[in-house]
Chains A and B, each alone.
Chain A
Amino acid sequence: MENLSYLFVAYSIIFAAIVLYVMFLWRRQARLDSRLRGLEIQLNEIRDELAADQPKPMTTASRSVS
């Protein structure tokens, strides 16, 4: 079992690097997803407000009354 420590260190580094990178990607994706959801909600609210402010198009009924 000579040089077992080299083998142990090599495999530990490989697994640590992969696990850390996956965790980094997961956390980043989670942060981006929450930011994306926040922006979508904000945008929908403004669009709803803009749609509510829009002057209503005249219908045939309202035109005949006037």
Chain B
Amino acid sequence: MGTKAAYWLGVITLAMMTAAIFMVFVYVPTEAQQGIVQRIFYFHVPCAWVAFAAFALVAISGGFYLWLGQQVWDDLAYASAEVGMLFCTLVLITGSIWAKPIWGAWWTWDSRLTTTLVLWLLYAGYLTLRVMANEVPQVGRLAAVVGIVAAADVPVIIVSVRLWRTIHPAVIVTRQGGHGLEDPRMIATLLVSMSAFTALCVWLLMLRFSTLRTTARIADLGRQLALAEAEMADRSGQVRGSS
């Protein structure tokens, strides 16, 4: 993989994000009922999508780590959880900013909002576990179990707008079926934003995964160095003993 792939993915992500910004602020028409603040939706929904995808990857990687016990899966799960947490935080913040002018409140204990907050708290717990107990050898296995259990909240969030009475809009798939975007330019803008955020998520994952692999390599080199230094000390002791 390496830096070249990360560099090119970074360039592609930047180009896609520029296109998405252009479409959000210039191309797409303003929604009739909500007005200009509806444009938050074009970044809010992609943030939610990549957060859910990242948390799903935590669960998948965690499962592989429990099964195979290879460090690489644990590192992938850790990187995914951190990136997912970034986007989940942005979902909650941007949703709150949209809610204030539309609902008249920053927050309401709606089913979708509450389940998303629960997801955020679960992964905050996951990351706290990783940071606080990083030296404990079993932390990878414990974190994998937490990551898998926490990811079970993702499908609950997705179906929450149909399962419970809620004021959160169901735009991608409405409660009556079909989608809630009346203009094809809105659909195009949403698709471009989703693609841009997917590329961004993969790029951030690569960068974070790379730091974790480098940390593992440093730990490995540290062990080799300690062994080599012990051998050196042993030899100098032998030399002194013989003289």
Q: Which residue of A lies closest to B221 (CB)?
A: A39
Q: Which residue of B lies closest to A47 (CB)?
A: B228
Assuming A6-B100, A43-B228, A50-B231, is B208 touching A32 (CB within 8 A)? no
CA distance A3 to B200 in the complex (A): 28
Assuming A22-B204, A42-B225, is B215 touching A6 (CB within 8 A)? no
Dominant secondary structure at the A interface = helix
Q: Which of B207-243 contact A (CB under 8 A)?
A: 207-208, 210-211, 214-215, 217-218, 221-222, 224-225, 228-229, 231-232, 235
Interface window among B32-40, B119-127, B139-147, B151-159: B32-40
Contact B211–A28 (Cβ < 8 Å): yes
Contact B98–A10 (Cβ < 8 Å): yes
Assuming A6-B37, A14-B43, A47-B228, is B217 touching A29 (CB within 8 A)? no
B89 within 8 A of A: yes
B residues contacting A by CB (< 8 A) are 35-37, 39-40, 43-44, 47, 86, 89-90, 93-94, 97-98, 100-101, 200, 204, 207-208, 210-211, 214-215, 217-218, 221-222, 224-225, 228-229, 231-232, 235
A residues contacting B by CB (< 8 A) are 1-4, 6-7, 9-11, 13-14, 17-18, 21-22, 25-26, 28-29, 32-33, 35-36, 39-40, 42-43, 46-47, 49-50, 53
